[in-house]
Amino acid sequence: MELQLPKGTRDFSPEEKILRDKIVNALKEIFELYGFVPLETPILERFDVLSSKYAGGAEILKETFKLRDQGNRELGLRYDLTVPLARYVGMYPAIKMPFKRYQTGEVFRDGPVASARYRQFLQCDVDVVGSSSMATEAEVITLINAAFSKLNLKVKIKANNRKLLNSVLVYCGIEKEMQEPVIISIDKLEKYGMTVVKNELKEQKIEETKISKLIDILNIAGNNDEKISQLKKILKDSGGLDEMGQLISLLRNTNIEIDFDVSLARGLSYYTGVVIEAFLSNGSVKSAVCAGGRYDKIISSFLGKGDYPAVGVSFGVDRIYDALIEKQEIKRKTSTKVYIIPIKTLNESMKIAQKLRDAGINTDIDLMEKGPSKNLEYANSLGIPFVAFVGKKELEENKIKLRDMGSGKEVFLDIEELIARLKD
Amino acid sequence: MELQLPKGTRDFSPEEKILRDKIVNALKEIFELYGFVPLETPILERFDVLSSKYAGGAEILKETFKLRDQGNRELGLRYDLTVPLARYVGMYPAIKMPFKRYQTGEVFRDGPVASARYRQFLQCDVDVVGSSSMATEAEVITLINAAFSKLNLKVKIKANNRKLLNSVLVYCGIEKEMQEPVIISIDKLEKYGMTVVKNELKEQKIEETKISKLIDILNIAGNNDEKISQLKKILKDSGGLDEMGQLISLLRNTNIEIDFDVSLARGLSYYTGVVIEAFLSNGSVKSAVCAGGRYDKIISSFLGKGDYPAVGVSFGVDRIYDALIEKQEIKRKTSTKVYIIPIKTLNESMKIAQKLRDAGINTDIDLMEKGPSKNLEYANSLGIPFVAFVGKKELEENKIKLRDMGSGKEVFLDIEELIARLKD
């Protein structure tokens, strides 16, 4: 047996796990602040659910881990949390709409492991099912803003509307069958620049006049209101543009200025209205740290019934983690506040540990009677901020020696003083 | 496509998930209070790791979900968190000992789904690796006690020692090859009573004199000290008995009285010393809600190297959940505190929602302009305690109507008063 992990999977050490948990807990707190409720669905799903026509699609299905149970039933590991949400909504018709749910959980994709793609990763989703009001998008964008502010990360939130993008393509005279590849090219604008996009469009044999019409629109500058009024002059009647105006106006209520970006597309068949991506304003993490949008057709197509307009976004925990590390977020190896070193006083030390824990202080204690220098090394290696030496002589005077591992300063305290000092 | 879950798996509705999260968070809090650190390992493990000689064993392997990645590598879904812990310890030799880690995570067993066995369930483990001191067992038992006290559940903690059980069998003259089946029978004492055990032993062709010697020992009554002194007279020299004495004495430091039970065995090859099971004192959940013990050989056998004495216990989240439901723990469908109903005041209402959220109050808002009576029904169905009506006329006087959904009482408040009232 080789001690190895499956390709594309990771262990998270205590140090990493503490920070990851902190991120996820901060996100959950914000989700609940915005009235979302948690849902948990199993990691195993029936393969026919995962592979049904309106589920993740052929590309994703190629990367789906497939297995069978002892009854030879075909199962798969979920590849996202949206298909399970659609299944859940279909199985429980009594759910009150709008259903504002969040879910965090592991998803699996058996894809190539190059360029930091993982085969198991944490998905962290909020979705509102059952509301077609534009206030839903405003609510979700406000939530994104609150979440990153909670994480002390500055973000720029970009938004666009797929209906608007369609109007633009129609206006430029792009034929129906060319709209998909053109949108894929436009989506590359932010990352690769205008020249690359232009060349791609030429390779797709789009006529020069159409390309220049399109580029003129993509080049429209100004603040959001200016962009909207310029687009209005060109496009005349566009539902998508009206929606963007409405969204921008609703967001004034929560003091959020999005970055309206006509080139933002986010893939193809999935989204039907507003699309959203959030980017960090600082640091080297350039990809979106949160993304999503409105998908009004997916759930009802998947279920083959009903009308389930929906808006949802995913938070990228791995990227947020990288950004916090880059910002030198303190990595802690333990949440232990004090480490008790008994010096031939195991019984008394256990009693003291109990008193500290009863007071809510995260306390560890040497169980192995290792001796002071080995114990200090242990506490130091874990970054525990305080060490308490419990010696026989000191105990007779009801004193415990507390050492601040940062400054090296030592003080003698009785148990009440010790509790008070550590509760700070 | 049928909308179904895989056999033996479950969805947890928001109502169920809120309570499950509450349990897990309470346990994590106690684990950290006792100096444990979190670890996360992947759900996928290499099949050769899961199936190696000293891993879970043949019985468990039959129930292991097996799959392959696109490189045709054999993988499995983890069936416990102990094999991953052993792998982790082997892969990271720099870990400081003792390694006090906790892990909560889904594990998978493709077993029969009868009698409420699930194929995916949450494992919640604490383990100390690297300490052979009896203070470790005392620490873990104290933690169990603290965890259930945090959950407001009264438990009885039973403990025994596998070395002692071996001494008892030797004393009774049970031959080596019969010790395993005899221990399995003894383990049934609590559940099925002495007659069943006696009959099983007879069926195993154990001689009458040996059976009656054994039963005399199992019948020893009295408090822990009395049991120990009686056993001492019979067994003379038993390391296991000395350890039990030591454990009982160490637990006096934290005021915990375990129930020393000579019949407690907990399976066979795994445990090497103290074994522990916690049972609820009240209610209909009769199986252990937490169980474990010392396993000094498993990790080093698995790794084929080193010396890794270990003590660990698992908490049964499903059973704890059932017990809390039985105790009528309030099930909440949402953690939302207030639901805002705009009456043609969407913009103003969004501003108010923002102020409440900025003040840390979990706030939901009608995004769909549903009208007051539908909105009240919605808030009521989710059990949201307060509803705030934002009407045009009231707004002119800076007033919001807050309705207590429990009492039906309504008051008019300005925004500061509203925040103060909801922060209570």
Distance from CA of B361 to the nearest CA of A (A): 6
Average pLDDT, integer, range B104-112: 95
B5 domain residue, yes or no: no
pLDDT, tens digit, 9 for 90 and up, residues B143-196: 999 999 999 999 999 999 999 999 999 999 999 899 888 998 998 888 899 999
pTM: 0.95
Q: Do B319 and B345 reside in the same domain of the chain? A: no
Residue B6 forms part of a structural domain = no
Q: Is pLDDT at B386 greater than 70 in this prediction? A: yes
Q: Per DSSP, what are the bridge partners of residue A100?
A: A128
pLDDT, residue A150, reads 97
The answer, yes or no, to whether residue A268 has pLDDT greater than 70, is: no
Query: What ipTM, to 2 d.p.?
Result: 0.94
Establish if B132 belongs to a structural domain. Answer: yes
Query: How many domains, in total, are found in chain B?
Result: 2
B272 and B398 both lie in a single domain = no
> Do B195 and B101 belong to one domain?
yes
Q: Do B1 and A49 touch (CB under 8 A)?
A: yes
- Taking each helix axis from N to C end, the angle separating B176-186 and B208-218, rounded to the nearest 10 degrees, works out to 50
Average pLDDT, chain A: 94
Task: Identify the CA nearest to B81 among candidates B114, B115, B38.
Answer: B38
Residue B330 pLDDT exceeds 80: no
pLDDT digits (tens, 9 = 90+) for A314-344: 999 999 999 999 988 778 999 999 999 999 9
Percent share of chain B, pLDDT over 90: 88
Which chain A positions have a beta carbon within 8 Å of B138's beta carbon? 350
Tens of pLDDT, residue by residue over B6-44, are 999 999 999 999 999 999 999 999 999 999 999 999 999
Q: Do B191 and B267 belong to one domain?
A: yes
B296, pLDDT greater than 70: yes
CATH code for the domain of B246: 3.30.930.10
Judge if B312 and B343 occupy the same domain.
Answer: no
Residue B383: CATH number of its domain: 3.40.50.800
Structure tokens at A200: 């791609």
Q: Final residue of a domain: which of A294, A326, A358?
A: A326
**Which domain does A35 fall in, by range?**
14-326
Model confidence at B59: pLDDT above 70 = yes
- Residue where a domain terminates, one of A275, A294, A326: A326
Backbone torsion region of residue A390, taken as left when φ is above 0, otherwise alpha when ψ lies between -120 and 50, otherwise beta: beta
Residue B115 lies in a domain: yes
**Nearest-CB residue to B41 (from A8, A11, A63):** A11
Residue B268's pLDDT is 59
Q: Which of A152-156, A309-313, B55-59, B127-131 has the lowest mean pLDDT?
A: B55-59
**End of a domain among B297, B326, B355?**
B326
- Does residue B285 sit in the same domain as residue B183? yes
User: Could you tell me if residue A201 is inside a domain?
Assistant: yes
- Is A354 found in the same domain as A322? no
Q: Is the pLDDT of residue B118 over 80?
A: yes
Predicted local distance difference test score (pLDDT) of residue B105: 97
**Does residue B346 share a domain with residue B308?**
no
Whether B398 maps to a domain, the answer reads yes
Among B70, B350, B368, whose Cβ lies nearest the Cβ of A254? B350
CA A357 to chain centre: 33
Type of residue numbered A159: A
Instruction: Give tens-digit pLDDT for A98-140.
Output: 999 999 999 999 998 877 789 999 999 999 999 999 999 999 9
Residue among A146, A145, A186, A188 at smallest CA distance from A279: A145
Q: Is there a domain that residue A1 lies in?
A: no
Residue A282's pLDDT is 93
Mean pLDDT across A245-270: 91
- The mean pLDDT value of chain B amounts to 94
Residue B75 has pLDDT above 90, yes or no: yes
Same domain, residue pair A224 and A280: yes
Q: Is the pLDDT at B338 greater than 90, yes or no?
A: yes
CB pairs under 8 A between A and B: 263
β-bridge pairing B363-365 and B400-404 = unpaired
Residue B238 lies in a domain: yes
Whole-angstrom distance, CA of residue B322 vs CA of residue B140: 24
Does the beta-carbon distance from B4 to A46 stay under 8 Å?
yes
Structure tokens at A188: 């590359």
The answer to whether A33 contacts B360, with C-beta atoms less than 8 Å apart, is yes
If DSSP codes are grouped into helix, strand and coil, which group holds residue B48?
helix
Same domain (yes/no): A162, A294 = yes
Mutate to test the interface with B, among A7, A15, A16, A33 (most CBs of B within 10 A): A33
Helix residue spans in A92-175 (DSSP H): 134-150, 162-171
B174 and B217 co-located in one domain: yes
* For residue B116, pLDDT beyond 80: no
Give me the mean pLDDT over the A305-311 stretch.
96
The whole-angstrom distance between residue A119's C-alpha and the CA centroid of its chain comes to 17
Does one domain contain both B273 and B322?
A: yes
